[in-house]
Chain A
Amino acid sequence: KNEVEQSPQNLTAQEGEFITINCSYSVGISALHWLQQHPGGGIVSLFMLSSGKKKHGRLIATINIQEKHSSLHITASHPRDSAVYICAVRWSGGSYIPTFGRGTSLIVHP
């Protein structure tokens, strides 16, 4: 069974810290998504990656296709970054049903 593993499961940080969330997957993919969900809130797409690196404000997402690994970095973290971050992959081979990681719960303290 194709799998997506996220780490860590829970993360606590102080405001201003640099944060890294990891996502590993088992076989080839055509796309990887990073999603954000605030407590009690909706789900928002942060990035979609198929190679390389993308940056949006303080958020950076990278992917290493050979190592089957992606990272989401948050620079200068802020309490408003407190949320669950979810990795989702679209497997190569034509499947249009993504597999989701279990999510990383991030709390940033002021």
Chain B
Amino acid sequence: NAGVTQTPKFRVLKTGQSMTLLCAQDMNHEYMYWYRQDPGMGLRLIHYSVGEGTTAKGEVPDGYNVSRLKKQNFLLGLESAAPSQTSVYFCASSNQGWNTEAFFGQGTRLTVV
């Protein structure tokens, strides 16, 4: 039982490049979330999904897109990376929208140069 798995764990991008972060969970959770964590800022919500085929914007969605084609996977895309997107990205999943235990991935450390 792997829980929540994020890939990749580390990545360096050049400004303007694109990439996709993958979050996979094997707990049949409905709710999945993408956060970014920056020093002194805490966790900020980028996008979230309440079920397969649904996505919604969070607090800081600009520059990111997401897709949830399969229930177990939640993808975060950066179409044209900017240095301001240098951050640590965490995926989380839960049932009942945080009314039950939430599980986090290990994080992806992204540097945009």
Contact = CB atoms under 8 A, between A and B. Distances in A.
A101 B43 CA distance: 9
- Is chain B's binding surface mostly helix, strand, loop or mixed? mixed
Contact of B105 (A42, A86, A102): A42
Contact of A43 (B48, B58, B104): B104
A11 interface: no
Nearest to B94: A96
Interface string A21-45: 0000000001101010000011111
B98 A45 contact: no
A90 interface: yes
Scoring B58, B102, B104, B105 by chain A CB atoms within 10 A of each residue's CB, the highest score goes to B102
B42 A100 contact: yes
A12 B94 CA distance: 32
Interface residues of A, number: 21
A97 B10 CA distance: 27
- Is chain A's binding surface mostly helix, strand, loop or mixed? strand
Contact of B100 (A41, A48, A101, A103): A48
Contacts of B102: 33, 35, 45, 48, 88, 98
Interface of B: 31, 42-43, 45, 48, 50, 58, 90, 92, 96-107
Interface of A: 30-31, 33, 35, 41-45, 48, 86, 88, 90, 95-98, 100-103
Given A43-B90, A90-B99, 16 more contacts: A31-B100, A33-B101, A35-B104, A42-B105, A43-B92, A44-B104, A45-B103, A45-B104, A88-B102, A96-B31, A96-B48, A96-B97, A98-B98, A100-B43, A101-B42, A103-B42
